């Protein structure tokens, strides 16, 4: 069977189950007595085993099978949950994640699994050695069917109609990978020839694979026992089928205690040969089968992200054409045309919003990775750390979600390694022994804000500055001119690190510059605020989507430029007489705050700007973290949704330019990237 067409679906489900396993193992480590968590881990491991075996990924199937054996022993309390087993299961999970990545990259066969398999099988083999043959026989004796009163009523009705009661003891092969699927197929086959009265374990437990390799079925059927056994043996992975025909007297003995008269009458009817012959051709009444009662299923559709990209591109072209129609409408000045264009505008906006929503996914997909990261970092650094998450339902564009994980990992590693102190140091400073790393996400306007804060020792600007001078990143004279905030921002320099020793966590000089570059590539900004002795806070501002953005159109000379509104704090009008010079820098006062002013034409290096001659200046105020800068432009035009078009490889790295867009009149307008201005 060609399974390549199902690979995307498999990988999506694989990642979901790996996420469940990760979180459930963390929960189990905190609450080892919670059997429900153990069941959840077992179900995910089993599902992943079956799916990977079906797809032909044998290494993943073998690892999950070995995990399942250990988890089964834990559920039966033949093994006790201890730190060694938890660490082993985490190591197995890490290997599964490596295998999943290897599958997507086509190198699954290069990943070694023998070590983990040997460690897992050591536990299951020890348990098997502790079980004697006598124990196994005792267990088989306990697998006897005992019917409820309602089930007995149903049995006698079926026996009256000419059916016979059979007990089937079914044993699956030891190497069976899909126990639940095999049991379901057997139940389905038996339902086609009779009525299933009871199963041990229950049908739900069989479906969830909460059994070893053996189960018993009570079946009422008119077919001979030989045919039924043959039907069961046709199912793959069936090792052995033991069967027996149960006589009415055996059920009668149980019934006599409660309803002797009715039972005797019913039994007499059953035992009369003429009656049995008379009823032989009558159809048996089937009871409602307990075989499969699945959960409520809500209709969803898995969509290839490339299809959504194509749809977004079409919407983008529609937005451009809408702008052109608006331009034509303003020139023609026809009322009916203007009304139609206005209606088209509303429909386009609604369509754009709906397409954007289909691309949105919860940031919990990223945040869910971090409890495990914090656990491993705390153990590696011998610190006590608690992770607090909030805003996990905040949504971001899928393309942003896929890229934001690595920068957040770098930041969290820095918080734990550089920020959180050792438990003894925290106690000496009057703090709780356990440090806190808090992640929060929330939407504001067209942006999403993500904050990562710790309650550690904070950043010392003087220490950072001294380290920068020592490693040659800055001169001592230049350092003296920097503010405390600017000294803290030195950690974003490539290769900068304050770690005195290289460890598994930090000290290699790779991290914060990569964080800034990645976030900048996503159209976002990152800022730091820190108080020595109290902690550090990283703030990341990201656009909701990278395809269509809302901009402020401004005029500068003869050209029109677009400025993303996500970074615009406000627009103001400043009189020339209110502009002062401070340290060779134009500034103005805005509600008691000194705002530096920047002539945008000087920053972009263009000619023909007219604001140098104006008495009343239009100013766009940008905000990055706590810092504000006012950019002087010739005039403010309007707000407009635009489609970002790349400038290509040759022009894509021009400072201050994020891309271009097409205006309604067909002209090209540059989209300004002024994050570095603030």
**Distance from C-alpha of 564 to C-alpha of 569, rounded to nearest angstrom:** 11
**Distance from C-alpha of 185 to C-alpha of 179, rounded to nearest angstrom:** 10
469: burial class by Cβ within 10 Å (0-12, 13-18, 19+)? middle
- Strand ranges for 584-634 from DSSP E: 585-590, 593-599, 616-624, 627-633
**Distance from C-alpha of 675 to C-alpha of 526, rounded to nearest angstrom:** 10
SS3 content of the chain, % helix, strand, coil (to 5): 50, 25, 30
Give me the helices (H) in 561-651, please. Answer: 600-604, 648-651
Query: Residue 344 to residues 202, 325, 340, 349, 351: CA-CA distances in angstroms?
Result: 59, 10, 6, 9, 10
Identify any residues that bridge with 360 across adjacent strands, giving them in sequence order: 397
Catalytic residue set: 46, 68, 414
Spatial neighbors of 227 by CB under 8 A, at least 6 apart, are: 193
Rounded-to-10 torsion of CA 97, 99, 100, 105: 130
In 3D, which of 571, 570, 550 has the Cα closest to residue 562? 550
**Distance from C-alpha of 637 to C-alpha of 660, rounded to nearest angstrom:** 17
Backbone angles phi, psi at 380, to 5 degrees: -70, -30
Query: Residue 14 to residues 11, 18, 27, 178, 243: CA-CA distances in angstroms?
Result: 5, 6, 20, 17, 39
């Amino acid at each position: 069977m060609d399974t390549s067409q199902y690979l995307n679906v498999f990988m999506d489900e694989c990642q979901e189950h790996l996420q469940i396993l990760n979180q459930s193992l963390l929960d189990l480590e905190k609450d080892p007595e919670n059997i429900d968590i153990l069941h959840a881990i077992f179900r995910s491991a089993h599902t992943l085993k079956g799916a990977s075996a079906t797809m032909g990924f044998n290494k993943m199937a073998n690892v999950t099978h070995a995990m399942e054996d250990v988890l089964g022993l834990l559920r039966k309390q033949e093994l006790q949950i201890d730190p060694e087993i938890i660490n082993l299961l985490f190591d197995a999970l890490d290997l599964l994640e490596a295998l999943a990545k290897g599958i997507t990259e086509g190198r699954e066969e290069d990943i070694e699994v023998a070590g983990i398999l040997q460690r897992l099988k050591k536990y299951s083999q020890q348990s098997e050695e502790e079980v004697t043959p006598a124990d196994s026989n005792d267990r088989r004796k306990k697998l006897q069917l005992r019917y409820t009163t309602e089930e007995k009523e149903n049995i006698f009705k079926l026996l009256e109609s000419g059916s016979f009661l059979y007990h089937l003891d079914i044993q699956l092969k030891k190497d069976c990978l899909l126990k639940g699927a095999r049991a379901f197929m057997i139940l389905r086959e038996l339902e086609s020839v009779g009525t299933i009265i009871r199963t041990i374990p229950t049908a739900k437990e069989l479906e969830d694979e909460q059994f070893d390799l053996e189960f018993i079925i009570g079946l009422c059927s008119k077919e001979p026992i030989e045919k039924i056994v043959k039907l069961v043996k046709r199912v793959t992975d069936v090792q052995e089928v033991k069967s027996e025909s149960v006589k009415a007297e055996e059920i009668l003995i149980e019934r006599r205690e409660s309803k002797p008269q009715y039972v005797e009458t019913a039994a007499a009817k059953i035992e009369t040969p003429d009656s049995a012959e008379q009823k032989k051709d009558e159809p048996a009444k089937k009871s409602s089968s307990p075989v499969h009662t699945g959960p409520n299923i809500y209709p969803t559709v898995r969509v290839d992200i490339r299809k959504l990209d194509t749809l977004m591109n079409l919407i983008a072209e529609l937005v451009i054409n809408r702008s052109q129609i608006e331009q034509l409408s303003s020139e023609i000045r026809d009322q009916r045309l203007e009304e139609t264009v206005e209606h088209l505008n509303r429909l386009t906006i609604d369509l754009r919003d709906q397409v954007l929503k289909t691309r949105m996914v919860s940031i919990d997909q990223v945040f869910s990775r971090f409890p495990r990261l914090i656990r491993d970092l705390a153990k590696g650094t011998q610190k006590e750390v608690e992770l607090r998450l909030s805003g996990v339902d905040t949504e971001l564009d899928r393309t942003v979600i896929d890229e934001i994980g690595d920068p957040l990992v770098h930041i969290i590693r820095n918080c734990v390694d550089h920020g959180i102190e050792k438990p003894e140091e925290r106690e000496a400073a009057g703090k709780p022994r356990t440090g806190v790393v808090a992640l929060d996400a929330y939407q504001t306007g067209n942006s999403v804000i993500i904050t990562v804060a710790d309650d550690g020792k904070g950043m010392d600007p003087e220490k950072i500055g001294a380290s920068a001078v020592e490693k040659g990143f800055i001169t001592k004279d230049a350092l003296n001119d920097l503010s405390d905030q600017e000294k803290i921002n030195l950690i974003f320099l490539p290769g900068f690190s304050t770690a005195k020793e290289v460890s598994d966590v930090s000290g290699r000089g790779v991290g914060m510059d990569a964080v800034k570059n990645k976030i900048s590539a996503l159209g976002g900004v990152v800022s730091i605020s820190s108080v020595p002795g109290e902690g550090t806070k990283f703030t990341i501002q990201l656009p909701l989507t990278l395809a269509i953005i809302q901009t402020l159109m401004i005029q500068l000379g003869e050209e029109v430029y677009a400025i993303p509104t996500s970074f615009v704090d406000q627009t103001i009008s400043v009189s020339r007489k209110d502009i002062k010079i401070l340290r060779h820098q134009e500034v103005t006062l805005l509600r008691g705050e000194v705002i530096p002013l920047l002539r945008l034409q000087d920053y972009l290096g263009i000619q023909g700007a007219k604001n140098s001659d104006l008495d009343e200046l239009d100013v766009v105020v940008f905000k990055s973290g706590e810092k504000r800068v006012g950019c002087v432009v010739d005039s403010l035009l309007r707000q407009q949704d635009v489609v970002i078009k790349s400038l290509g490889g040759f022009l894509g790295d021009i400072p201050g330019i994020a891309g271009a867009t097409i205006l309604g009149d067909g002209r090209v307008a540059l989209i300004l990237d002024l994050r570095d201005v603030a």
